[in-house]
Amino acid sequence: MAKVSKRYAEAAKLVDRSKLYTIEEAVALAKQTSTTKFDASVEVSFNLNVDPRHAEQQIRGAMVLPNGTGKTQRVCVIAQGEKEKIAQEAGADFVGSDEIIQNIAKGWLEFDVLIATPDMMGKLGRLGRILGPKGLMPNPKTGTVTQDVAKAIDEVKKGKVTYRVDREGNINVLIGKTSFTEEALVENFKAIYNVIAKARPTTVKGAYMKNLVLSTTMGPGIHLAIEK
Protein backbone atom coordinates (compact mmCIF):
# COMPACT_ATOMS: atom_id res chain seq x y z
CA MET A 1 0.00 0.00 0.00
CA ALA A 2 2.84 2.39 0.87
CA LYS A 3 4.35 1.77 -2.56
CA VAL A 4 1.09 2.77 -4.24
CA SER A 5 0.81 5.84 -2.01
CA LYS A 6 4.34 6.90 -2.94
CA ARG A 7 3.55 6.44 -6.63
CA TYR A 8 0.39 8.49 -6.21
CA ALA A 9 2.27 11.23 -4.37
CA GLU A 10 4.80 11.47 -7.20
CA ALA A 11 2.02 11.64 -9.77
CA ALA A 12 0.10 14.24 -7.79
CA LYS A 13 3.13 16.55 -7.84
CA LEU A 14 2.74 16.85 -11.60
CA VAL A 15 -0.79 18.25 -11.25
CA ASP A 16 -1.17 21.97 -10.50
CA ARG A 17 -4.23 22.02 -8.26
CA SER A 18 -4.68 25.77 -8.75
CA LYS A 19 -4.90 25.44 -12.52
CA LEU A 20 -7.89 24.72 -14.75
CA TYR A 21 -6.64 22.59 -17.63
CA THR A 22 -7.98 22.35 -21.16
CA ILE A 23 -9.25 18.88 -22.01
CA GLU A 24 -6.26 18.32 -24.30
CA GLU A 25 -3.83 19.21 -21.50
CA ALA A 26 -5.77 17.14 -18.96
CA VAL A 27 -5.87 14.00 -21.10
CA ALA A 28 -2.11 14.13 -21.71
CA LEU A 29 -1.52 14.65 -17.99
CA ALA A 30 -3.94 11.89 -17.00
CA LYS A 31 -2.07 9.37 -19.15
CA GLN A 32 1.24 10.59 -17.67
CA THR A 33 0.06 10.40 -14.05
CA SER A 34 -1.76 7.06 -14.18
CA THR A 35 -0.37 5.06 -11.25
CA THR A 36 -1.60 1.56 -12.06
CA LYS A 37 0.24 -1.27 -13.79
CA PHE A 38 -2.96 -2.26 -15.61
CA ASP A 39 -4.88 -0.38 -18.29
CA ALA A 40 -6.63 2.14 -16.06
CA SER A 41 -10.06 3.61 -16.70
CA VAL A 42 -10.39 7.30 -17.49
CA GLU A 43 -13.42 9.03 -16.00
CA VAL A 44 -14.92 12.49 -16.03
CA SER A 45 -16.91 13.83 -13.09
CA PHE A 46 -19.44 16.64 -13.51
CA ASN A 47 -20.68 18.63 -10.52
CA LEU A 48 -23.88 20.33 -11.63
CA ASN A 49 -25.99 23.11 -10.19
CA VAL A 50 -29.16 21.00 -10.14
CA ASP A 51 -31.54 19.68 -7.51
CA PRO A 52 -32.54 16.11 -8.45
CA ARG A 53 -35.51 16.33 -6.08
CA HIS A 54 -37.23 18.24 -8.89
CA ALA A 55 -38.27 15.97 -11.75
CA GLU A 56 -37.15 18.40 -14.46
CA GLN A 57 -33.64 18.51 -12.98
CA GLN A 58 -33.05 14.75 -12.94
CA ILE A 59 -30.34 14.54 -15.60
CA ARG A 60 -30.32 10.99 -16.93
CA GLY A 61 -29.73 9.19 -20.19
CA ALA A 62 -27.38 7.09 -22.30
CA MET A 63 -25.18 7.47 -25.37
CA VAL A 64 -22.68 5.54 -27.45
CA LEU A 65 -19.19 7.07 -27.21
CA PRO A 66 -17.47 7.67 -30.58
CA ASN A 67 -14.51 5.48 -29.63
CA GLY A 68 -16.15 3.10 -27.17
CA THR A 69 -15.13 2.64 -23.54
CA GLY A 70 -12.48 -0.06 -23.85
CA LYS A 71 -14.49 -2.07 -21.35
CA THR A 72 -16.00 -5.46 -22.17
CA GLN A 73 -19.62 -5.43 -21.06
CA ARG A 74 -21.45 -8.62 -20.15
CA VAL A 75 -25.02 -8.25 -21.38
CA CYS A 76 -27.97 -10.14 -19.91
CA VAL A 77 -31.31 -10.01 -21.72
CA ILE A 78 -34.67 -10.87 -20.16
CA ALA A 79 -37.00 -11.84 -23.00
CA GLN A 80 -39.03 -14.74 -24.29
CA GLY A 81 -40.14 -16.26 -27.56
CA GLU A 82 -38.80 -14.66 -30.74
CA LYS A 83 -37.07 -11.84 -28.81
CA GLU A 84 -35.05 -14.41 -26.88
CA LYS A 85 -33.81 -15.93 -30.12
CA ILE A 86 -32.97 -12.48 -31.54
CA ALA A 87 -30.99 -11.60 -28.39
CA GLN A 88 -28.95 -14.79 -28.67
CA GLU A 89 -28.14 -14.10 -32.32
CA ALA A 90 -27.21 -10.49 -31.49
CA GLY A 91 -24.48 -11.62 -29.09
CA ALA A 92 -26.00 -11.33 -25.62
CA ASP A 93 -23.94 -13.13 -22.98
CA PHE A 94 -27.00 -14.41 -21.10
CA VAL A 95 -30.56 -14.72 -22.36
CA GLY A 96 -33.69 -16.07 -20.69
CA SER A 97 -36.82 -15.22 -18.76
CA ASP A 98 -38.19 -16.80 -15.59
CA GLU A 99 -35.10 -18.87 -14.81
CA ILE A 100 -32.76 -15.87 -14.96
CA ILE A 101 -35.19 -13.77 -12.92
CA GLN A 102 -35.19 -16.49 -10.26
CA ASN A 103 -31.38 -16.61 -10.29
CA ILE A 104 -31.17 -12.83 -9.83
CA ALA A 105 -33.61 -13.10 -6.92
CA LYS A 106 -31.14 -15.56 -5.35
CA GLY A 107 -28.25 -13.11 -5.78
CA TRP A 108 -26.80 -13.91 -9.22
CA LEU A 109 -25.46 -10.69 -10.78
CA GLU A 110 -22.72 -11.86 -13.15
CA PHE A 111 -23.48 -9.22 -15.78
CA ASP A 112 -22.81 -5.51 -16.37
CA VAL A 113 -25.94 -4.46 -18.27
CA LEU A 114 -29.48 -5.83 -18.02
CA ILE A 115 -31.84 -5.38 -20.98
CA ALA A 116 -35.50 -6.38 -20.92
CA THR A 117 -38.49 -6.32 -23.23
CA PRO A 118 -41.46 -4.29 -21.90
CA ASP A 119 -43.59 -7.39 -21.31
CA MET A 120 -41.02 -8.73 -18.81
CA MET A 121 -40.85 -5.61 -16.62
CA GLY A 122 -43.79 -6.70 -14.48
CA LYS A 123 -41.79 -9.67 -13.25
CA LEU A 124 -38.50 -7.73 -13.02
CA GLY A 125 -40.09 -4.96 -10.99
CA ARG A 126 -40.15 -7.24 -7.96
CA LEU A 127 -36.33 -7.27 -8.03
CA GLY A 128 -36.02 -3.51 -7.60
CA ARG A 129 -34.38 -3.84 -4.19
CA ILE A 130 -31.65 -6.01 -5.71
CA LEU A 131 -31.14 -4.30 -9.07
CA GLY A 132 -31.86 -0.68 -8.11
CA PRO A 133 -28.90 -0.06 -5.74
CA LYS A 134 -26.54 -1.63 -8.31
CA GLY A 135 -27.82 0.60 -11.09
CA LEU A 136 -28.87 -2.48 -13.07
CA MET A 137 -32.64 -2.02 -13.31
CA PRO A 138 -33.65 -1.66 -16.98
CA ASN A 139 -35.11 1.74 -17.87
CA PRO A 140 -36.65 3.13 -21.07
CA LYS A 141 -34.65 6.38 -20.66
CA THR A 142 -31.37 4.48 -21.03
CA GLY A 143 -32.64 2.24 -23.82
CA THR A 144 -32.53 -0.92 -21.72
CA VAL A 145 -36.30 -1.49 -21.81
CA THR A 146 -36.98 -2.03 -25.50
CA GLN A 147 -38.53 -4.24 -28.15
CA ASP A 148 -35.42 -3.76 -30.30
CA VAL A 149 -33.11 -5.95 -28.22
CA ALA A 150 -30.64 -6.41 -31.09
CA LYS A 151 -30.03 -2.65 -31.32
CA ALA A 152 -29.71 -2.34 -27.53
CA ILE A 153 -27.12 -5.14 -27.40
CA ASP A 154 -25.17 -3.65 -30.30
CA GLU A 155 -25.01 -0.22 -28.63
CA VAL A 156 -23.75 -1.68 -25.35
CA LYS A 157 -21.08 -3.71 -27.12
CA LYS A 158 -19.96 -0.64 -29.12
CA GLY A 159 -19.41 1.46 -26.01
CA LYS A 160 -22.68 2.77 -24.64
CA VAL A 161 -22.48 4.63 -21.34
CA THR A 162 -25.32 5.65 -19.05
CA TYR A 163 -25.29 8.74 -16.88
CA ARG A 164 -27.46 9.81 -13.96
CA VAL A 165 -27.13 12.71 -11.55
CA ASP A 166 -26.89 11.74 -7.87
CA ARG A 167 -28.31 13.55 -4.85
CA GLU A 168 -25.34 15.92 -4.69
CA GLY A 169 -25.57 16.90 -8.35
CA ASN A 170 -22.69 14.69 -9.52
CA ILE A 171 -22.41 12.61 -12.69
CA ASN A 172 -19.48 10.24 -13.21
CA VAL A 173 -18.88 8.80 -16.69
CA LEU A 174 -16.28 6.40 -18.06
CA ILE A 175 -14.75 7.82 -21.26
CA GLY A 176 -12.10 5.21 -22.03
CA LYS A 177 -8.81 3.67 -20.97
CA THR A 178 -5.31 5.07 -20.57
CA SER A 179 -4.27 2.95 -23.56
CA PHE A 180 -6.53 5.06 -25.79
CA THR A 181 -4.89 7.75 -27.89
CA GLU A 182 -5.21 11.30 -26.58
CA GLU A 183 -7.35 12.15 -29.60
CA ALA A 184 -9.80 9.32 -28.86
CA LEU A 185 -10.18 10.34 -25.20
CA VAL A 186 -10.68 14.00 -26.14
CA GLU A 187 -13.33 13.05 -28.70
CA ASN A 188 -15.16 10.85 -26.17
CA PHE A 189 -15.04 13.62 -23.58
CA LYS A 190 -16.43 16.23 -25.96
CA ALA A 191 -19.26 13.89 -26.95
CA ILE A 192 -20.45 13.33 -23.37
CA TYR A 193 -19.78 16.99 -22.44
CA ASN A 194 -22.05 18.21 -25.22
CA VAL A 195 -24.83 15.82 -24.19
CA ILE A 196 -24.68 16.92 -20.55
CA ALA A 197 -24.51 20.60 -21.58
CA LYS A 198 -27.60 20.27 -23.78
CA ALA A 199 -29.47 18.59 -20.91
CA ARG A 200 -29.39 21.81 -18.87
CA PRO A 201 -32.83 22.29 -17.30
CA THR A 202 -34.54 25.59 -18.10
CA THR A 203 -35.22 26.07 -14.38
CA VAL A 204 -31.51 26.25 -13.47
CA LYS A 205 -30.37 29.76 -12.57
CA GLY A 206 -26.74 30.88 -12.81
CA ALA A 207 -23.84 28.57 -13.65
CA TYR A 208 -24.94 25.04 -14.66
CA MET A 209 -21.60 23.24 -14.41
CA LYS A 210 -19.84 24.04 -11.13
CA ASN A 211 -16.87 21.68 -11.34
CA LEU A 212 -15.37 19.30 -13.86
CA VAL A 213 -12.66 16.74 -13.01
CA LEU A 214 -10.80 14.18 -15.12
CA SER A 215 -9.17 11.24 -13.37
CA THR A 216 -7.81 7.74 -13.88
CA THR A 217 -8.21 4.69 -11.63
CA MET A 218 -6.21 5.50 -8.46
CA GLY A 219 -4.76 8.59 -10.18
CA PRO A 220 -4.99 12.26 -9.09
CA GLY A 221 -7.93 14.40 -10.15
CA ILE A 222 -7.30 17.06 -12.81
CA HIS A 223 -9.64 20.05 -12.79
CA LEU A 224 -10.90 21.19 -16.17
CA ALA A 225 -11.76 24.62 -17.47
CA ILE A 226 -15.50 24.78 -18.15
CA GLU A 227 -16.45 26.21 -21.54
CA LYS A 228 -18.71 29.22 -21.37
Q: Quick: pLDDT tens for 119-165.
A: 999 999 899 999 998 889 999 988 999 999 999 999 999 989 989 99
Q: Quick: pLDDT tens for 111-131.
A: 999 999 999 999 998 999 999
Lowest average pLDDT, out of 33-42, 72-81, 87-96, 103-112, goes to 33-42
What per-residue confidence (pLDDT) applies to 5? 63
Three-class HEC string of the chain: CHHHHHHHHHHHCCCCCCCCECHHHHHHHHHHHCCCCCCCEEEEEEEECCCCCCHHHCCEEEEECCCCCCCCCCEEEECCCHHHHHHHHCCCCEEECHHHHHHHHCCCCCCCEEEECHHHHHHHHHHHHHHCCCCCCCCHHHCCECCCHHHHHHHHHHHEEEEECCCCCEEEEEEEECCCCHHHHHHHHHHHHHHHHHCCCCCCCCCCEEEEEEEECCCCCEEECCCC
What per-residue confidence (pLDDT) applies to 4? 52
Q: How confident is the model at residue 2 (pLDDT cuts 50, 70, 90)?
A: very low
The whole-model pTM stands at 0.81
